[in-house]
Amino acid sequence: MKKLFESLKVGDLELENRIIMAPLTRCRCDAGAIPSEIMIAYYQQRATAGMIIAEATAVSPMGIGYPDTPGIWSDSQIRSWKKITDAVHEKGGKIVLQLWHVGRMSDPCYLEGELPVAPSAIAPGGHISLLRPKKTFVTPRALALADIPGIVKSFAKGAANAMEAGFDGVEIHGANGYLLNQFFNAGSNQREDSYGGSVENRSKLMLEVLDSVIDVCGAGRVGLHISPQDDEHSMLQSDFSTSLGDYTYLIKEVNKRNIAFLFVRESANSANCVGPHLRTIFNGIYIANEEFTPEAAEAAVENGKADAVSFGRLFIANPDLPARLYRNEKLNELNPDRYYHATIEKGYTDYPELDRI
């Protein structure tokens, strides 16, 4: 493999390779949504990635929707994240923070009794992740027009806090059925005001958040994460032409902001892929993600289908993934039973590394 190991300029950042660590929720935080001490070792072990996109991190207490996940709104969270960014930088790595608000994908048990918020009062299907006994989602509270500037400010504050914590940049989570995706998607957004209806209106919150974060970080340190198949958390899956049109509009507007990168979670095996078209029109670095083997990733970069490729599960099991790929070494077996487990190191920081075998 050669192309994956070429250096890459991503906005203001210079990456040593094109192997990106995907943002991965692992539920290892302490009370108060504070990153735990074991997270320092976890991220430092993976510092040889061209860039780490740290796990989804709530920009406000109302953005939480899973147990033991991190936040970026308090001084104590900033201090704990700073230990992690320092550890990654000590090993020569780059790390950006994914800024997150789950919107309706939450429950009052995570929100001190408050209802989750969403563009419209429409509950998603299914059950709340990781909560036992199983519980269906409640109907969220539709955000009033007067509430929306507060959402934008929370992302801007999260970005400012991330930079104070030493991150090299941020990624806006606009995918996977969370709040910004809920506004963009015509199924979850039934508003009749200036944030609903047309794709121009449904894109408005995502673009306002981008603008606010760019004002804080500079465009060269900002990325956007999207999932054009809309295949998570009860998102309406539009016909191909509608989806293509909506995402084309969004990315043309994003281009006006000159952000550093676009992260696209879409399997190449999906029917009616939107990503290949977005690749041709986006004017920054295009990071592909989902179900890539190392060989497929090398081919995607070699053939110009992506500038870089992001791996999730492979980075969970192989903290030294770039070295293993470079040396064509065997990859570790993944332990899915330990994806999520608060404060437990097993299946988190104990995967073998080449220099420890």
> Which residues are known catalytic residues?
178
Full 3-state SS string of 226-283: ECCCCCCCCCCCCCHHHHHHHHHHHHHHHHCCCCCEEEEECCCCCCCCCHHHHHHHCC
How many whole angstroms separate alpha carbon 197 and alpha carbon 177? 18
Q: Encoding tokens for residue 334?
A: 């993944």
How many whole angstroms separate alpha carbon 81 and alpha carbon 74? 11
Residue 352: CB atoms within 10 Å: 12
Distances (CA, A) of 316 to 6, 14, 278: 23, 24, 28
Question: 154, 159, 158: which is closest to 217 by C-alpha?
Answer: 159
Written as one string, the DSSP assignment of 38-72 is HHHHHHHHTTTSSEEEEEEEESSGGG--STT--BS
Residue 280: CB atoms within 10 Å: 10
Q: Which pairing describes strands 13-15 and 308-311: parallel, antiparallel, or unpaired?
A: unpaired
Question: 256, 175, 173, 257: which is closest to 215 by C-alpha?
Answer: 257
How many whole angstroms separate alpha carbon 88 and alpha carbon 92? 7
Q: Say if residues 107 and 138 touch (Cβ distance below 8 Å).
A: yes
Question: 293, 197, 209: which is closest to 246 by C-alpha?
Answer: 197
Q: Say if residues 210 and 172 touch (Cβ distance below 8 Å).
A: yes
Written as one string, the DSSP assignment of 100-146 is E--TTS--GGGTTTPPPEESSS-PPSSB-TT-SS--BPPPPEEPPGG
How many whole angstroms separate alpha carbon 277 and alpha carbon 316? 30
